[in-house]
Structure 1
């Protein structure tokens, strides 16, 4: 199994950022992390705020999410990264990630996204898609990643992409990775 430099770099970035978040969360005391899906409020918010009426308020949850998003109004992001070799990477309407690079093309439909509760600045996502490589290899893949909005209209991401590649008559199971920076228009 070949390990590409981009796979190693993505693993190093995710590991470093995860360790940094873990160290800062445990150094000052105990902090609990909770994974929250996009259309749900955190459990601590649900328990602390019990409204007198039975109607839910989705606008409050969406405004909380938008404060962590990376700005921009058109729903289109573009940037540079390492996915299919050196690549032009992008995102359309927060649902389709794509990469066009030296080694091929890839696209992923993001079916689930959320954020970590607490002071964790990352948002997570999961998706499915496919890739075509220059050497006549193609196949489906799964995208599991994190995004970090770091400035107005800018975000960085890192993802792991387990895949199944068809190469002539061979079938190979592998894992890829991608990292990149995008600007939102």
Structure 2
């Protein structure tokens, strides 16, 4: 009877110890869960604050970029509006560089100029062309401009040879000018070589 009581007490003592251990395990697990939840909540809150800061930085940078882009787009519009005016003014003040008119060079001739560098004459007595290699103006109030060129001529009487053109030009009206020149030349006539001097005068219209 005494042994039975001792066994029952030991069994009760062991059960109470087991219950205490279970309670300890449950309490430890509860504390760990609470601690983890609290730490996770703090981490999440800090991440949300960082995310909000990043979003604010991105929004401010995008606003700055859009402002700079709009200002850059507005600037070319102002410059582009001024370009057509300058182009139109330059076009209105310039011409094609081609002049044509009438004069006396190879007899009665059609005379002209190409790009301010080549003078030509096509007349009853032949054709001539000169390359203008130098131009200038006189000092003071002289309205003439001078030029010097070198070229050649072919006449109907089988004469041909090189020549030098020394002349002056005078613009006297809009798109109109007149010229006069002397043309020292060296002419080949069959087997003969003759040194001579010619002259020319004319009026031309610039297109």
User: TM-score band, normalised by the shorter chain?
Assistant: 0.5 to 0.7
TM norm structure 1? 0.61
**Aligned-residue offset at 1:72:** 5.4
User: In structure 1, how many angstroms separate the alpha carbons of the residues matched to 2:176 and 2:138?
Assistant: 19
Matches within 5 A, 1:44-63: none
- Aligned partner of 2:121 in structure 1 is 99
Unaligned runs of 5+ residues in structure 1 are 1-70
Residue matched to 2:142? 120
Aligned pair count?
115
Among 175, 193, 204, the residue aligned to 1:153: 175
- 1:144 and 2:163 matched: no
Name the CA shift for 1:138/1:108 in 2 (closer, same or farther; >3 Å).
same
Deviations 1:118-154 (A, max 9, x none): 2100000000000000000000000000000000000
Match of 1:90 among 74, 90, 112: 112
**Larger Rg computed on CA atoms:** 2
On the 8 A contact 1:132/1:139 being kept in 2, the answer is: yes
Give unpaired runs (5+ residues) of structure 2. Answer: 1-92
- Indicate the residue corresponding to 2:190 in structure 1: 168
3-state DSSP of counterpart to 1:146: strand
Deviation beyond 4 Å, 4+ runs, structure 1 = none
Give matches, 1:62-81, under 5 Å: 73-81=95-103
Aligned 8 A contact 1:141 1:162 in 2: yes
The residue that corresponds to 1:51 in the other structure is: none
Shift of 1:117: 1.9
What TM-score comes out, normalization by structure 2 length? Answer: 0.55
Q: Which residue of 1 aligns with 2:206?
A: 184
Displacement of 1:164 after TM fit?
0.1
Deviation at 1:178, TM superposition (A): 0.1
Q: Which has the higher helix share?
A: 2
Higher RCO (C-alpha 8 Å, min separation 6)? 1
User: When you count strand as a share of all residues, which structure comes out higher?
Assistant: 1
